[in-house]
Structure 1
């Protein structure tokens, strides 16, 4: 192991003021030389990694963070790493860190280069994010459970809708077999039957695609999204359920709306939940009043607003305060998590979700989301 120059080590580790100050900071802090060797470690580092502070002096920082290399670590816009410019600002980098006993954990590391007594030094802040990552994983699992539960409510109507093209495909295949057995073969009829089979197959595959998209499980996938397309997909998904319940769904979508930046599956989940809630709110109203109106329009230059309006009995004052709280539900079989998770999702997208009673009857749920594409979002970070 290369030895650290005595003057560098003494000037930094021997400064009582620096040592005392760093000892009081409740996160792991290291000072590193230009080669990435540890000049000083505060007591929190010893607690976090399971080493004695003195045992770390002179050791490479890769002992604690295997992939941390100072000569090529710079976080650029969009998350890419490159050499130039990291002296200009402190950025947080996500890494896997390793304790003395060999166990690994997720950490965020902030780096700042500066001069100390004519020595080039890098200050490294290491934050244990194990609990945050676990919390995020549990939140994703819970959101996925809610999507699957929601789709379970649609199982009967979706099975009916899927059965229609499958039955038509079977009937057309049987008809084609009869035409092929005839002499002479009526090629025009067979060609028309094959076209019908293709269309029915497309209907079935589109339904399956929409179901798979909603129940998909995975990490957050941020992209530029067309909200109008997402809304239309969800409306098609609930079409059979709306027919069974005798509900008319109307769409009023403003043209030429800019994209929003977000996760498609999560936004589908929110819209699906709000639409099904609107359907449930109209179970006890006359069939002629069962209309769910969905509008999409600009709220301002920077925000787009989705409104889902029902003609049910509205919400009492106490429900307006409680409906977004976890486990609050008025449904016998409800989990009480749909609106709570929906508000969390919209909050993660830097938007707002709220509800208001209509002037005449029923209630409206509003979702406001900021405009902007994925590239613009990355540049703003």
Structure 2
């Protein structure tokens, strides 16, 4: 199949797929050309990307208070250090070693604030699908840092258990961040009614088989009823008063596009676990080449 621009009678351009199939008819060699108008398919794909972007922005909007807190800490430290440096500079003699140390603290605080902003921009950016080789452990750690303030506000602890020397996966970084962000915030919400001592979300990343890795996000909430286990991945189904009901549906679509699987199970003791399996880089490349 070849993708090429076509032109209608009225002069407007549209995308087409052209397939050429040679075959023999009696003693003649014939080539059958199939031309498919893919304009509607591209429109649906663009709408899907726009909806996924809207969901990301909406999800990050839920973190506004905690992100403001995350930014306020380094900014307050910068202001305090500048005021301290000003006082040291009026002393006689000037303690240059102390001033150098203060300036170093200012630089470090600036790095912390820049890192918070970088993580926000990475999640909410809008663009085409970029399939590249990815360090899944790094993606998970970035998202955990992004929700750290929200976890503190909710009195929730996130425990990471990441296996060493895992192979890379192929995928779109922003979309996989979106999945992780949604699953972590859902886990936080699931424990809103439990004692603070029990508010722990366990995130495990391990190799499941030769060709797949598995992420497990386990909460200690009240679990899911049998009917919710069937419905939570359907569009517009939500149990949250302010929820769009799109987070899990879009997350599953994203994982499907990455040739993976997303599902949920109730834990034996309490709470629920959401599982994500993804093919490692080599497995994805083999699948795409077929």
TM-score range, shorter chain: over 0.9
Corresponding residue number in structure 1 for 2:276: 367
CA distance in 1, matches of 2:89, 2:21: 77
Corresponding residue number in structure 1 for 2:118: 209
Corresponding residue number in structure 2 for 1:149: 58
**2:164 aligned residue (247, 255, 260):** 255
CA contact (8 A) 2:218 2:271 kept: yes
CA distance in 2, matches of 1:297, 1:374: 16
CA contact (8 A) 1:329 1:336 kept: yes
Gaps of 5+ in 2: none
Corresponding residue number in structure 1 for 2:92: 183
Gaps of 5+ in 1: 1-91
**1:222 aligned residue (131, 140, 154):** 131
Number of aligned residue pairs: give it.
290
**2:224 aligned residue (294, 303, 315):** 315
Corresponding residue number in structure 2 for 1:264: 173
1:61-72 aligned within 5 A: none
* CA deviation map 1:232-284 (0-9, x unaligned): 00000011110110101000011111111100000000011000000000000
Taking a change above 3 Å as real, the CA distance of residues 307 and 163 of structure 1, as seen in their structure-2 partners, is same
Normalised to the residue count of structure 2, the TM-score between the two structures is 0.95
SS of residue paired to 1:163: helix
* CA deviation map 1:4-31 (0-9, x unaligned): xxxxxxxxxxxxxxxxxxxxxxxxxxxx
- What do you get for the CA RMSD once the two structures are aligned? 1.8
How far has the Cα of 1:165 moved from its partner?
0.2
CA distance in 1, matches of 2:227, 2:26: 64
CA distance in 2, matches of 1:152, 1:334: 12
Normalised to the residue count of structure 1, the TM-score between the two structures is 0.73
Q: Does 2:243 match 1:334?
A: yes
Q: Give 1 or 2 for the bigger CA radius of gyration.
A: 1
CA distance in 2, matches of 1:331, 1:379: 38
Corresponding residue number in structure 1 for 2:3: 94
**2:151 aligned residue (227, 242, 265):** 242
Higher normalized contact order (CA 8 Å, seq sep 6+, divided by chain length): 2
How far has the Cα of 1:180 moved from its partner?
2.3
